[in-house]
């Protein structure tokens, strides 16, 4: 098996946007998808979408800023399926844009709640993956953190912290059979679309120089990369950040 057929894949933030797109792509390709979101109506909607395409799924509400909620989510997954093969840490908390000079403690605390949630989820799945001798973890980074995008200091710091956790886990858990990577996406998520509508001129300028001239599609552009990173085929790539953004940020 080189795909994800029969693999149990947990996706946080799967109620909408990129998370939902990945859930649908993996579900269409045979994965058992655990749909995790903090809003129950979003969970129910994605589960219904998966049922419509014949995919097996489980819907769970979970607050990634609450350690106990994450532990309960992982327990419900392993109790329900007897295994947990892959974790996609897609959910993220947000604050409003702010210049670096004006960032407040609450901005840091809100964004870094995702860092803690990512770590807690990784810790929670680690014993199950180690016992199986096989596991895949996909974290979510951002080009904004890598480039230091202005007015996103708190968000940037959180996303770079998640990349640091990704690299550290790759080093510490590789011999447990666990592969850990990150995706920095460029896709038409709900939040991204809302931001584009608020700043139409800025968005048009950004897209003018975009190599592909479009945003990515959560299901058909981000989904296949997530599938690869959760599969047997991804066996000798770990600790890496994949810029799945259509070339929007190219490096020398």
**Catalytic amino acids?**
155
Distance CA 224, CA 58 (A): 21
Distance CA 86, CA 83 (A): 10
CB within 8 Å of 52: residues ≥ 6 apart? none
CB within 8 Å of 249: residues ≥ 6 apart? 143, 146, 147, 184, 186, 243
Which pairing describes strands 8-12 and 86-89: parallel, antiparallel, or unpaired? Answer: parallel
DSSP string, 181-210: EEEEE-B--HHHHHHHHHTHHHHHHHHHT-
Which helix (H) or strand (E) element contains residue 11? strand 8-12
DSSP 8-class letter at 176:
G
Distance CA 126, CA 249 (A): 32
Question: Are 158 and 112 spatial neighbours (Cβ–Cβ below 8 Å)?
Answer: yes
């Amino acid at each position: 098996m080189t795909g994800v057929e029969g693999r149990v894949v947990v996706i946080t933030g799967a109620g909408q946007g990129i998370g939902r797109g990945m859930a649908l792509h993996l579900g269409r390709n045979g994965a058992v998808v655990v749909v995790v979101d903090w809003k129950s109506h979003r969970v129910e909607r994605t589960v219904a979408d998966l049922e419509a395409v014949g995919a097996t799924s489980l819907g769970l509400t979970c607050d990634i800023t609450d350690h106990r909620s994450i532990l309960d989510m992982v327990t419900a997954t392993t109790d329900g399926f007897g295994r947990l093969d892959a974790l996609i840490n897609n959910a993220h908390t947000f604050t409003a844009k702010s210049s670096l000079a004006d960032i407040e403690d609450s901005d840091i605390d809100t964004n870094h709640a995702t860092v803690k949630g990512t770590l807690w989820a990784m810790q929670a799945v680690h014993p199950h993956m180690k016992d199986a001798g096989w596991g895949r973890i996909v974290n979510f980074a951002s080009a904004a953190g890598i480039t230091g995008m202005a007015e996103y200091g708190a968000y940037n710091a959180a996303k770079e912290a998640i990349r640091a956790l990704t690299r550290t886990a790759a080093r510490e858990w590789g011999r447990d059979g666990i592969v850990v990577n990150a995706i920095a996406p460029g896709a038409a998520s709900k939040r991204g679309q809302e931001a584009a509508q608020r700043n139409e001129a800025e968005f048009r300028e950004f897209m003018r120089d975009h190599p592909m001239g479009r945003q990515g599609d959560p299901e058909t552009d981000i989904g296949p990369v997530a599938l690869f990173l959760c599969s047997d085929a991804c066996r000798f790539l770990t600790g890496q950040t994949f810029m799945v953004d259509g070339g929007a940020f190219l490096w020398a």
